Each structure stands twice: as C-alpha cells, then as structure tokens.
Amino acid sequence: MDRQKQRITVTAAAMLVPLMAACGSENADGGSTTVGAGKPVTGVRWNVDSVTADGRTQKAPTGAHMTIDKGRAEGSFGCNNFGAEATVDGDRVRLSKTMATEMACENKPMAFEETLARTLSDQEFEARVDGDRLTLTTEQGDTVRLTKAQDAPLSGTKWTVTTPKADGRAHLTFDEKKGTVSGSLGCNKVNAEATVRDGDITLGPPATTRMMCEDSLMADEKALLRIFDGELKYRVDHQTLTLTSENGMKVRAAAGQ
C-alpha cells in the first residue's frame, strides 16, 4: 500500500481554502456512518490522544484532531492541516487522496506530526468506538487513539469575539442562572439581560460605559450593539460560538481566549 503523503504548499492565510472547497463539493458517502452498535463515527470532532507506530507510542499535542463527514476527513496533525476523501463502511474506514499543508511550527513535536501523517494518509482502518473513544487500526497494526471533543458550555465561558475583530478586545460571558450577559464591546463594557432557551437567546437593551476609543474599535462596537435588544439564534461548535440576529448579522467568538 502506498503510504506516501501527497502535499501542497500554500500560504498561512489561504491554507484552509482548498480543503474547505473540496469539502463543499463532496456528497455523503453511500456506506454506513456508524461503527459497532449504531455508534456514530461521522459528524464528530475527534481529538487525537496518541499514535502507536512501529511499536512506539507518541502522545498527541493539543490541537491534533479529525472530523469525518460527507465523504471527507479533515483535521490537523498538530501543526499542519489535512484533508482526504473518506469512506465509512461497517467497521472499516478508508482515507485516500490525502493532502496537507507544509508549515514548520514552533513548540510543536514535528516527529509526532510526521508519524501521525504517515499513519493516517491513504490507509484503510478497522474502527472501534467505545463510548467517547475511537480507535483506528491499520492493516500493519499501527493505531491512532482519539476522544470525542466536547463543546464548550455557553454559560460561564469567556467568548472572545473574532467577527467583528475588535482587535481581540471584545468578549462576552453568559450566565444562564442569573439571566445575564456581560463583557466588553472592544472599548466599552456592556451588560444586559439574556434569556437562553432551545437554541435561542433573547437579549435585553444594553447598558454600557461611555468611553471614546479609536475609530476602528468604535465601528466594531456599533456593529456588536446591533445584536442586543432582540432575539438571536446561537450555535456552539466545539470551541466556536455563532450568534445570528433576526436580520442575518453573524457574530462569531472563540472560547477561552
């Protein structure tokens, strides 16, 4: 079996473009999407715990993960991102046409990355799901162990706003018990009533401080203020929160930053 990984070199700003574009053009594979007694393997973000190859086990760095969905596998080896065609049929998972970015990252174990890339690229695996754990074993006996990633809780998490950018200064924290949201709009502090139910958040009128900051921050503040005093749809996907207002405006935020 050819275990040579195909690679593409791209700039850091564009490194996700080919993978995302390929994902959008794929249809769901016609095979099974579960392993064992109806346990799903697709549509789940799996964090890599370790890889065992050639009799040696290496622990994964933070950030190594994989998701299989709609005929594609996408994720990160720890530093570089990758994408591949994926087929799930019973307890067999097949990855093919693997492509990855080529970056050298500081403070990342590149030896682990090379081992994981070699083990995952263009291989067929026996898959076993046990609770929140997934084990992928190659025909050669190499093993990748993964754990289902948990979504960050909406309440109590400091959500740093990434869109609009606000120079990383804007953040929101929801408290479902108190029925409030508080934080910063990037320049001014803000708090408001917040009622959470069934994928919706109803925000009351905002109370803010009255400081003046640079024009770019004030423009982002005005954009963020438009989500208050109304109803929002919200979705948490792993460490990302998306808020969508009734007029279609989207605010995205990252957990723990």
What digits encode the pLDDT tens for the residues 184-198?
A: 999 999 999 999 998
pTM: 0.62
Whole-number Å distance between alpha carbons of 190 and 164: 16
Query: Alpha-carbon Rg of the chain, whole angstroms?
Result: 21
Is the peptide bond preceding residue 164 cis, with omega within 30 degrees of 0? Answer: yes
What digits encode the pLDDT tens for the residues 75-84?
A: 999 889 999 9
Q: Return the SS3 of 59.
A: strand
Q: Return the SS3 of 249.
A: coil
4 Cβ contact partners less than 8 Å away, ≥ 6 residues apart: 121, 122
For a pLDDT cut of 90, what percent of the chain falls above it?
A: 70
